[in-house]
Amino acid sequence: MKTFWTKKGIAQCEVHPIFGSLTFLQKINPGLWMADIYNKYRCPYVGIWVFWRPGLVVNCPSIARNILLKDSDNFRNRLLGTGTADKLGTLNLFTCNDPLWTIVRKKLTSVFTASKLRGWEDLYKSKSADLVQRIKSDNENGITNSLKPLFADYATDIIGESAFGIKCEATKHSTGPLRAMTKEFEKYDTFRGIQWSSIFFFPELADFLRFTFWPKHTMTYFRKVFSMIVKERGGYEKETDGRRDLMDALLKMKQDAMKENQNLDEVVVISNAMIFLQGGYDTTATTLTYIIYELAHHPQYQQKVYEELIEAKSNNDDKELKESDLGQLPYFNAVIKETLRKYPVMGWLDRIALKEYQVDQHLTIPAGTVVYININGMQQDPVLFPDPTVFKPERFLPENVKNIKPYTYMPFGEGPRSCIGKRFGMISLSFALAALISNFILKPLPNAPAPNDAAIDNKGMFYSPGEALSVQFISRN
């Protein structure tokens, strides 16, 4: 282990005889560790050990492009997983590998077409209005909300109604059948941390110890909710064209398999419904939290966003802005993109080399090597993004985007395995942000930490606040 990478002439992290290079787990957020590796070695790639498996951290955008796009057929699979004991946690788009991944991705792509997303605009507007009213009501009652749980209420409602057709009211009351589930997702203790560390970096151990991607009682609860929805829609026997929402697409996937005499376990259907709920609500809630927190601490940027929204609405005869209108606002979107640069929810991308692979003229890696694309490292590089710890939306204005080197900014991943729900997430963010800035002036609370001083969750796998973040919402009217 100690000489595997050095014999190949490349830098290697310090190695522990059991944990390999992963002694940081449960002490440092993996995204922060990736940035540390990037800054410590300042080279195209660094050799690591993922327990007893060789791994390569890629810090070079051109190599990242080759792995994620040009040579993606050799890197279609990921490391993380829980094994045969946890089908619900293993058989979804986030965790499954080929050939199942290709089948599921193709079937679910229809859920995220532009026309489908536009069809949910009334929902985005309604829930954004509920969010504004909730904050106003809480202000009147002297309640200061923690941002992430507040935005988790909103995001859960959006997913519940758009994906599953369930009437949800969590934005108003922070309760409901799906919000009860997403609150369970948020519970994270030491044992859960050990489980997830194993699932992401040592799936064989997760399989041996029968760890599960989700808590068992949560899976049981979701099965009941899912069965109720299927029954309300007439079961798997009732024909559907798969065009309405995620549930329809999942039902059609099962129906098509039955017609073709393929054995598609219902667990695959339930697993993908569950991962969409978790992935969709959490990323939206986290990113909205950081956007609002940064804008509260940067009133000059907040004012620019507000003025841009007011001007756009004025140019639209004071009508409510549509998704297409919000998508045309340069500063508004620059704020979102800069937040995703500074706080990428997933700080790295993992892939496994299916065959021996020549990385460049200096290095060839054996089949089975885990490759980590260092997203956070590149997005925090002062050469690629000057003053990377400073919140600068101007980086992403149309006249400056040309300065951003391809494959140095990848908050949603790139290539065939990029995030399927990217546009859905961006639209959910946009409507909430527009409603909040239009109705409130954001100010920091007294003695609140500056954005760069706010704690990061070091126990989890994703980039998320490690403490409750709140701001003052002051009504504009």
Burial of residue 156 (number of CB atoms within 10 Å: 0-12, 13-18, 19+): buried
Mean pLDDT of 39-68: 97
Q: Helix 422-439 vs helix 121-140: angle between axes, to the nearest 10 degrees?
A: 40
Residue 146 has pLDDT above 90, yes or no: yes
Mean pLDDT of 330-334: 98
Q: Tell me the whole-structure pTM to 2 decimals.
A: 0.95
Mean pLDDT of 305-332: 94
Residue 93: how many other CB atoms lie within 10 Å: 19
| Cis ω before 99 (30° cut-off from 0) | yes
CA 78 to chain centre: 16
Provide the 3-class DSSP secondary structure of residue 365.
Answer: strand
- State the distance between the two ends of the chain, measured CA to CA, in whole angstroms: 64
Q: Per DSSP, which regions of 67-214 are E strands? A: none
Q: Per DSSP, which regions of 311-415 are E strands? A: 349-352, 357-360, 363-365, 370-373
Whole-angstrom distance, CA of residue 443 vs CA of residue 476: 12
Q: What's the chain's average pLDDT?
A: 94
**Which of 4-8, 179-183, 284-288 tops mean pLDDT?**
284-288
Residue 180: how many other CB atoms lie within 10 Å: 14
Whole-angstrom distance, CA of residue 335 vs CA of residue 333: 5
DSSP, residue by residue, 277-334: HHHHHHHHHHHHHHHHHHHHH-HHHHHHHHHHHHHHHHHTTTPPPPHHHHTT-HHHHH
Token pair 């290095």 is found at 363
Tens of pLDDT along 180-208?
999 999 888 889 999 999 999 999 999 99
Tens of pLDDT along 342-357?
999 999 999 999 999 9
357: nearest Cα among 96, 4, 63, 59: 63
Mean pLDDT of 257-265: 82
pLDDT at residue 241 in the model: 66
Token pair 């979107």 is found at 333
Whole-angstrom distance, CA of residue 281 vs CA of residue 404: 29
114: nearest Cα among 433, 424, 429, 426: 424
**168 annotated to a ligand binding site:** no
pLDDT at residue 35 in the model: 97
Residue 235 has pLDDT above 80, yes or no: yes
**Residues 362, 9: contact at Cβ < 8 Å?**
yes
Mean pLDDT of 384-412: 98
pLDDT at residue 5 in the model: 95
pLDDT at residue 242 in the model: 60
**Residues 164, 178: contact at Cβ < 8 Å?**
yes
Tens of pLDDT along 369-390?
999 999 999 999 999 999 999 9
Q: Identify residue 238 by its one-letter amino acid code.
A: K
CA angle in degrees (0–180, nearest 5) for 359-361-367: 35
471 vs 245, which has greater pLDDT? 471
**Residues 67, 373: contact at Cβ < 8 Å?**
yes
